[in-house]
Structure 1
Amino acid sequence: MDMVLIAGLWLDGSAWDDVSPALEGLGHRPVPLTLPGQGDGSSSATLDDQVAAVVAAVDAAPDRVTVVGHSAACTLAWLAADARPDKVASVVLIGGFPSTPGEAYAAFFPMVDGAMAFPGWETFEGPDAADLDADARARMADGAIPVPEGVATATVTYSDDRRYDVPVTMVCPEYSPAEARAWIDAGDLPELAKAKHVDLVDLDSGHWPMFTRPAELARLLADAATT
């Protein structure tokens, strides 16, 4: 199965370099995306541009696909399911959740010169980054791509309730499946509360398992694509 891979903020398609070969070995075809404004040299990209890039990758696949979103890009994966509910066979969310309609996509940090830069590792101390050594942190920080303001501050909207029929697997890295279930049951994650098929799986890692647990992550993605 084709698997469209969307990394989170400040990352481009190379974030999946260690995951992709493992997916291929498990019989899947990874399609890692470099989003407009996050690696293609454009600083004026919008959220609509990024959604269009994801949908184009879905449309280009010969058959139905699994769309994988990491962190903030979980919303992009869910927007793809909203745009193509008949073509997206399943969605996998890694360390994140779909935004609620009306929320900003990812306006988490200050905008400077029209973009949201990586805020530094102090922001992510604790479970998020506990498994990243100093070299990995330095490489990620050096390669971090500021997110265009037109992406980060855009309002999220959905249009097709058939997205709730698309099976969802939540990969829980820096938090537990029990915590995620409690958030869903409490109504804190409205989009997932309405989804009809949500599986929760544990992964003992921090927020960026594509760098620290690529083989284990690939196996979870493969399992999600075949169940």
Structure 2
Amino acid sequence: MAEFVLVAGAWLGSWAWDEVVPELHAAGHGAHPLTLSGLADKQGLPAGQQTHVQDIVDEVERHDLRDVVLVGHSYSGIPVGQAAERIGDRLTRVVFVDSNVPTEGESFVSGGPDGGATLKASIAKAQGFWTPLAAADYDGQGLTDEQIARIVDGSTPHPGATLTEPALLARPLDELPATYIKCLLDGDKPSDDVARLLTSEHWRLVEMDTGHWPMFSQPRELARILLDAAVA
């Protein structure tokens, strides 16, 4: 039996996995959707990037989980990738869902086209937070109006420090057993850093014909891919 630890991307909490968790349970596995510090039901808690890494490690250790499949969506691929290195032989596989990946010494914002200047300015203007997207920003991502409304209504401002602090890697990321899920409505090719990682014998690519939020748009298909990853 695998134990899935599920971490959604910016602005979201554990609730984002509500339609995926039952599919994993039905297949006989454990599922642990996690809200990171400063978000959703944990609003108000101070958080930097390493706080989020520790949130994930703590979830694994608190429940003494084994055969762990760590799942990171979007922004959360950065803390999940770091946490995957820190849980040692508890890890079975890490799954990056259309996500960023950590690079030693680099932050989420540093991967931006202008070195993160625009996003940093936005965070400063919002008093240290990244403001959630508006409904129109989800157009073209395979979501129904109802799904978009659910995401928008549930989103909370994202702690800015988690986006500006650098990642800390204990070893090369391409040594981890990993699956990368590319959601094709959000771009038909992985980013250059992900493409390099996919040349590793330990990594494999899976494509989904949906947008950047597959836990809402195609939860059953996403669950099937996660289940396959657990035995890859």
CA-to-aligned-CA distance 1:98-125 (integer Å, 9 cap, x gap) = 1322222356731111111113244454
Q: Are 2:93 and 1:54 aligned?
A: no
Shift in Å at residue 195 of structure 1? 4.4
Which residue in 2 is equivalent to 1:174? 184
1:155 equivalent to 2:157? Answer: no
CA distance in 1 between partners of 2:47 and 2:158 (Å): 9
1:188 aligns with 2:193: yes
Distance 1:95 1:134, change over 3 A: same
1:164 deviation in Å?
Answer: 3.4
Aligned-partner residue type, residue 49 of structure 2: L
How far 1:175 sits from its partner (Å)?
5.5
Aligned-residue offset at 1:194: 7.1
The corresponding residue for 2:156 is 145
Q: How does 1:1-227 map to 2 (within 5 A)?
A: 1-39=2-40, 40-59=42-61, 60-106=63-109, 109=119, 110-111=122-123, 112-126=126-140, 129=141, 131-161=142-172, 163-174=173-184, 179-180=189-190, 183=191, 188-189=193-194, 192=197, 195-227=200-232
Deviation per residue, 1:155-180 (Å, 9 max, x gap): 1121234x533211111212599723
CA displacement 1:105-156 (0-9 Å, x = unmatched): 3567311111111132444544xx2x11222212211211111122121111
Relative to structure 1, is the Cα distance of residues 105 and 178 closer, same or farther in structure 2, using a 3 angstrom cutoff? closer
Partners of 1:189 and 1:4 in 2: CA distance = 21
* Identity, % of aligned positions: 32
Q: Distance in 1 between matches of 2:74 and 2:129?
A: 18
CA contact (8 A) 1:177 1:202 kept: no
Q: 1:178 to 1:143 in 2, by over 3 A?
A: closer
Structure 1 segments, 4+ long, off by >3 Å, are: 106-109, 121-126, 175-178, 187-191, 193-196
Could you say what the CA RMSD is over the residues aligned between the two structures, in angstroms?
A: 2.3
Tell me the distance in 1 between the aligned counterparts of 2:187 and 2:143.
22
CA contact (8 A) 2:185 2:212 kept: no
Which segment is superposed worse, 93-102 or 115-124?
A: 115-124
Structure 1, gaps ≥5 residues long:
none
CA distance in 2, matches of 1:99, 1:35: 17
TM-score normalized with structure 2 length: 0.84
Change over 3 Å in CA distance of 1:212–1:175 after alignment to 2 = closer
Q: Is the 8 A contact 2:11 2:155 kept in 1?
A: yes
- Aligned pair count reads 218
Segments of structure 2 that go 5 or more residues without pairing to the other structure are 110-115
TM-score w.r.t. the length of structure 1 is: 0.86
CA distance in 1, matches of 2:127, 2:65: 40
Shift of 1:222: 0.4
Kindly provide the amino acid, as one letter, of the partner of residue 22 in structure 2.
Answer: P
- Which residue identity does 2:159 align to in structure 1? P
